[in-house]
Amino acid sequence: MKTVIIKYNAGNTRSVTFALERIGITPLITDDVDEILSADKLILPGVGEASSAMKYLQEKKLDNVICSLTQPILGICLGMQLMCEYSEEGNTNCLGIFKQNVKLFSRSELKVPQIGWNTILDLKTELFSSVKENEYQYLVHSYYAELGVNTIAKTNYGLTYSSALNKNNFYGVQFHPEKSGPTGQKILENFIKL
């Protein structure tokens, strides 16, 4: 099975690669359109800044390619946020796959960024097969996706937000499954089986 990690000069490709290797997958890291289109599974990894990430995707014409994909793709952290409609980070128009907007946590009442372990709940879809409600996942983020029709998991941090999204073959998680121990590994395994 050909698994591609989309390169866009953002993202923690190393830790995602190591996590996939632990479950027997050797991924290809590339921004080559032909390699992306021929993949069985794709991951858009996290970590970075929305406006510069979108600029890179647009310069490489990967924005249109990603939106046209029919195979399963998983966005992680920033990767999920880029699949949303709009991000307050850098006043960025994103890919528009998920209709949610991405907003900055209020700094008045919360420690921002949220760094560390938090629970996921209201789990939906086969992405969370054999994952229990209120399992802990590792998060590092200052921005969050609003709740909406595409929400398949929630987390509470001063407010309740989307910690996972799904529309057709597009999946996104705000947390880092590659850094979340056995439960995160199970979520990656579930994604590979989609």
Catalytic residues: 77, 176, 178
Say how many residues make up the chain: 194
Look at residues 193, 55, 80 and name the one whose alpha carbon lies nearest to residue 145. Answer: 80
Cα 97 to Cα 74: distance, rounded to the nearest angstrom: 12
Tokens of 152: 């398949």
Cα 93 to Cα 50: distance, rounded to the nearest angstrom: 9
> Running DSSP on this structure, what letter comes out for residue 106?
P
Q: Which amino acid is at 36?
A: I
